[in-house]
Amino acid sequence: MRELRLYVIDGDEPAGRWRIVDRTSLEVADGEVWATIEGLPDDHWLGAGASLMLTPGMHVWVSAGSQRATFAFGPLEVPAPRAAHPWWRPLVSWRDGRRHAPVSLPT
C-alpha cells in the first residue's frame, strides 16, 4: 500500500514554498503548474503528465496557471530491498521506522 498526497491549487491562490528533503519529482496530474527553484534563473511551466526532478535542499515555489491544477511529489525510484547482515539488522529496522516525507509542508 502507498500513501498518495495530491495537492490542488486554484489559479488565484498565492504560490506555495516547499523545502525538498529527499530526491523527488514534482508530477502534474491536471492543469498547468508554474514552478521556480530559489537561486536558479529559470521558471518551469508544466502541463498534465509532465514532471520536474528536485533534489534535497532545494526551495521550490509552486503555483497554478490561470485555472486549477493538481500535482503531487513522488519518489523517482523505489530502492530494492537488500538483506542485511545479522549485526546490521537492528539499525536497519530502526532507520526504516523513521522514514519521512520527501518534501516538507508548504511554508
Return the CATH number at 57.
2.60.120.10
pLDDT of residue 95: 53
41 lies in which domain range?
Answer: 6-96
Q: Is residue 69 part of a domain?
A: yes
Q: Is residue 1 part of a domain?
A: no
pLDDT of residue 74: 81
pTM: 0.68
Q: Is residue 101 part of a domain?
A: no
Q: What is the average pLDDT score of the chain?
A: 80
Residue 59 has pLDDT above 60, yes or no: yes
Q: Which residues contact 102 (CB under 8 A, 6 or more apart)?
A: 20, 21, 22, 23, 24, 73, 74, 75
Q: Is residue 81 part of a domain?
A: yes
Q: Is residue 90 part of a domain?
A: yes
Q: Is residue 26 part of a domain?
A: yes
Structural element, H or E, at residue 93: helix 89-96
Name the domain count of the chain.
1
Tell me how far apart the alpha carbons of residues 47 and 71 are, in angstroms, rounded to a whole number. Answer: 10
Q: Is 18 exposed, middle or buried (0-12, 13-18, 19+ CB in 10 A)?
A: buried
Q: Is residue 17 part of a domain?
A: yes
